[in-house]
Amino acid sequence: MRRRTFLKTAASAAWASVGVGQVSQSAQPRRLAFGGIQIECSTYGHNRTRLADFRVRQGQALADDPFFAPLKSYPWPFQPTLLAQAVPGDPVDAGAYAELKADFLQRLTALLPLDGVYLAMHGAMFVDGMEDAEGDWIASTRDLVGNDCLITASFDLHGNLSRRAIDNLDMLSAFRTAPHIDREETMRRSCEMLVNSLIKRIRPTLVWAPIPVLLPGERTSTVYEPAKRLWGQLSAINADAGVMDASLMVGYVWADEPRAAASAILTGTDRRVLERHALSLAQAYWDARRDFKFGVFTGTLAECIAKANGIATKPVVISDSGDNPTGGGTGDRAEVLAALIQNKVSDALVAGVADEPATNACYRAGTGASLPLRIGATIDPQGSSPLPVEARVANLLSTDDPRERQAVVEVSGISVVLTARRRPFHEIKDFSVLGLNPTRFKIVAVKAGYLVPEIAAIANPNLMALTGGAVNQDIEHLESKHRVPSWPFQPDLKWKPSTVVSARSRRTE
Per-residue pLDDT tens over the stretch 394-433: 999 999 999 999 999 999 999 999 999 999 999 999 999 9
Contact 174, 265 (CB under 8 A): yes
C-alpha closest to that of 40 among 424, 308, 381: 424
Q: What does the pLDDT read at residue 14?
A: 38
Please give the average per-residue pLDDT across 329-355, as a whole number. 97
Alpha-carbon distance of 89 to 331, in angstroms, equals 9
The number of angstroms, rounded, from the C-alpha of 10 to the middle of its chain's C-alpha atoms is 23
* H helical segments located in 53-109: 59-63, 94-109
| pLDDT for res 23 | 52
Q: Which long-range contacts (CB under 8 A, 24 or more apart) does 181-188 make?
A: 181/453, 183/67, 184/67, 184/70, 186/154, 187/67, 187/68, 187/70, 187/71, 187/118, 187/120, 187/154, 188/10, 188/11, 188/70
pLDDT at 297: 97
pLDDT digits (tens, 9 = 90+) for 57-109: 999 999 999 999 999 999 999 999 999 999 999 999 999 999 999 999 999 99
Mean pLDDT of the chain: 93
Q: What confidence score (pLDDT) does residue 151 get?
A: 98
Query: pLDDT at position 295, please?
Result: 94
What letter would DSSP give residue 450? Answer: S
pLDDT given at position 508: 66
C-alpha 37/C-alpha 231 separation (Å) is 25
pTM over cut 0.85: yes
Decide: 464 and 324 in contact? Cβ < 8 Å.
no
For residues 132-142, give the mean pLDDT. 98
Q: In this structure, what DSSP letter does residue 476 have?
A: G
For every residue of 140-199, DSSP letters joined together read HHHHHH-TTSEEEEEE-TT----HHHHHH-SEEEE---SS---HHHHHHHHHHHHHHHHH
Q: d(Cα 451, Cα 259) in Å, to the nearest integer?
A: 27
* pLDDT recorded at residue 74: 95
The pLDDT of residue 509: 63
Please list the alpha-helical segments (H only) found in 239-270.
none
Q: Where are the beta strands (DSSP E) in 356-493?
A: 370-375, 387-396, 406-411, 414-419, 443-446, 462-465
Residue 239 has pLDDT above 90, yes or no: yes
3-state class of 229 per DSSP? helix
d(CA 152, CA 194): 6
pLDDT for res 67: 96
pLDDT at 15: 38
Contact 391, 411 (CB under 8 A): yes
Give residue-wise pLDDT tens across range 246-268. 999 999 999 999 999 999 999 99
pLDDT (0 to 100) of residue 191: 98
Please state whether 328 falls in left (phi above 0), alpha (psi between -120 and 50) or beta. left
Predicted local distance difference test score (pLDDT) of residue 261: 98
- As a whole-number percent, the residues of the chain with pLDDT over 90 amount to 92
Tell me the per-residue pLDDT of 3-55, one tens digit each, with 9 for 90 and over. Answer: 333 333 333 333 333 333 345 444 688 999 999 999 999 999 889 999 999 99
Whole-angstrom distance, CA of residue 251 vs CA of residue 205? 22
Instruction: Please check the confidence at residue 227 and state whether its pLDDT lies above 80.
Output: yes
34 within 8 A of 82, measured Cβ to Cβ: no
pLDDT for 29: 86
- Residue scoring higher pLDDT (58 or 1): 58
Task: Read off the pLDDT of residues 283-338 as tens digits, 9 standing for 90 and up.
Answer: 999 999 999 999 999 999 999 999 999 999 999 999 999 999 999 999 999 999 99
